[in-house]
Structure 1
Amino acid sequence: MERKKDGFCEERRSFLKGAVVGTTLLAAEFFPLGSIARATNEKTLIKLPPLPYGQNALAPYISSGTVAFHYNFHHQGYVDKVNKLVQGTSMAGVSLEDIVKETQGKADKSDLFNNAAQVWNHNFYWKSMKPGGGGVPSGGLAKKIEASFGSFEKFRESFANAAGSLFGSGWVWLVKADDSLKVVQTLNADTLIVHGMLPLATLDVWEHAYYLDYQNRRKDYINLFLDHLINWDFVSRNLS
């Protein structure tokens, strides 16, 4: 009799265990674990976009170590800070570009503006380079540069001088303003999307962008960007 009781208990335990597993699997099928929380959170999060190439693709001009540190720590850090700052505010769920535009010039929102603008600038920076880039562009873009600057050589000189002379940290941009191309500097986290100009390409001249590879030789970093990395295809798409 005792054996029967044990057998019954064992069968009952097996049945209950199976029922729990079955119910869990059924729930997982219709409501994947964390799906509701994830769906809610994803509406409010600014995401770090994937790099448009491998972390070693810009070597030897920008090392994989610099790209990894720049992307995984600096760029990711700005993304994380934006998400922390917008949590529980009216900015949660707002697009990155709108966050930048809505916080620009507001003293009480300067921390959010700086971090959001840095995310936007970095997103644009990675696209401004490609393996096998640089050199002299061709076609309509070459003609536009010549019409705006007088020659490609004069454009190159203008861009290199702007990047080399920028004091402290910031960005140098090739932009379309009115109907011509110009080279423009922005300091620190400032970004051109709040200044009425169309950005075509940018170079990050914060020290973290080049110091591991070039230390204080910013000029070398600038020249290698122009000669080997600038993505003229990206510039042309932005211009069209």
Structure 2
Amino acid sequence: MQILNFTLPLGLGWMVSSAQTRLDSIQQAFLPTPNNTATTTAIMAYTLPKLPYSYDALEPHFDAETMEIHHSRHHQTYVNTLNAALEGQSDFSALAVDDLITKLDQVPADKRGTVRNHGGGHANHSFFWKNLKTNTTLGGDLKSAIEKDFGSVEAFQKEFETAATKVFGSGWAWLVHEDGKLKVVTTANQDSPLMPKSISGASGYPIIGLDVWEHAYYLKYRNKRPDYIKAYWNVVNWDEASSRYEQKK
């Protein structure tokens, strides 16, 4: 059997080689390089965290439609706006968002308002999602500390509910740990106790926090904020709260 040696004609071989060169050039132009990847990472320094549960997991206390809108639209807007504000500010965009808002007084003045509102919104909501879960129980050292600092769990809950109800407009109610004690504080808008006290008016390390913006409850509770606040006790992730307390006590 005779094996034929096949050789491409000179012109056709040049065409194949040229096509391969053009293909390599296209791939280099469109596939991300390390530099392109770094640039993308810098621009998108902050991302929307995934929820550790489904949107309907907190039913009937927090409804699925509100959770979906709250997470995928409101929180996403805070992330997008924060990234846009910090574009080109690598010293700040490289920070974890909790660290960023502790340094809010160091952010350039023309960026500070946006970072306060949207960095605060991103930090507060990232904490809020982790702080929600059904069927957990307050106990251990955190329960003992609440009883010591407030007199009883019921007294703490009453103080927290009163504070959350009295927030005028939009804001947050918090249980925080500071100087060896637990206390209830509130902040306006998307301010956080982690921010400098001169900016937020509050201080302390958050143990739990409740969003009392209307977008957090209006679809289910309408104007009945006190009902929403009472429902919160059914979805507090006391395991997460206890862990945070242990870290800071």
Q: TM-score, normalised by structure 2?
A: 0.81
Mapped contact 1:99–1:113 kept (Cα < 8 A): no
Task: Report the equivalent of 1:145.
Answer: 146
Kindly report which structure 2 residues correspond to 1:108-127, keeping only aligned pairs within 5 A, or say none. Answer: 108=110, 109-127=112-130
* Aligned AA (1:186): T
Q: Separation in 1 of the partners of 2:41 and 2:162? A: 42
Sequence identity (%): 35
Distance 1:37 1:58, change over 3 A: same
Q: What secondary structure, in the 3-state scheme, does the structure 2 residue paired with 1:229 have?
A: coil
Task: Report the equivalent of 1:212.
Answer: 219
Task: Report the equivalent of 2:32.
Answer: 33
Task: Report the equivalent of 1:43.
Answer: 42
Q: Separation in 2 of the partners of 1:113 and 1:57? A: 30
Encode CA deviations 1:159-182: one digit per residue, 9 max, x unaligned: 111111111110000111222211
Q: Separation in 2 of the partners of 1:189 and 1:105? A: 18
Q: Separation in 1 of the partners of 2:66 and 2:54? A: 12
Task: Report the equivalent of 1:101.
Answer: 102
Q: What secondary structure, in the 3-state scheme, does the structure 1 residue paired with 2:32 have?
A: coil
**Cα RMSD after superposing both structures:** 2.7
Encode CA deviations 1:131-184: one digit per residue, 9 max, x unaligned: 334xx5122222111111111111111111111111111000011122221111
Alpha-carbon offset, residue 232 of structure 1: 0.5
Task: Report the equivalent of 2:238.
Answer: 232
Mapped contact 1:130–1:231 kept (Cα < 8 A): yes
Mapped contact 2:42–2:87 kept (Cα < 8 A): no
Q: How many residues align?
A: 229
Mapped contact 1:103–1:110 kept (Cα < 8 A): no
Mapped contact 2:178–2:204 kept (Cα < 8 A): yes
**Unaligned residue ranges in structure 1 (runs of 5+):** 1-6
Mapped contact 1:104–1:113 kept (Cα < 8 A): no
Alpha-carbon offset, residue 127 of structure 1: 1.0
Q: What secondary structure, in the 3-state scheme, does the structure 1 residue paired with 2:132 have?
A: coil
Alpha-carbon offset, residue 104 of structure 1: 3.8
Please tell me whether residue 72 in structure 1 is matched to residue 72 in structure 2.
yes
Task: Report the equivalent of 2:184.
Answer: 183
Q: What secondary structure, in the 3-state scheme, does the structure 1 residue paired with 2:94 have?
A: coil
Encode CA deviations 1:5-31: one digit per residue, 9 max, x unaligned: xx876665455445655x479869xx9
Encode CA deviations 1:68-127: one digit per residue, 9 max, x unaligned: 111111111011111111112353434323331232497542222221111111111111
* Aligned AA (1:42): T
* Aligned AA (1:174): L
Q: Separation in 1 of the partners of 2:172 and 2:106? A: 18
* Aligned AA (2:129): W
Distance 1:55 1:35, change over 3 A: farther
Q: What secondary structure, in the 3-state scheme, does the structure 2 residue paired with 1:192 have?
A: coil
Distance 1:176 1:91, change over 3 A: closer
* Aligned AA (2:32): L
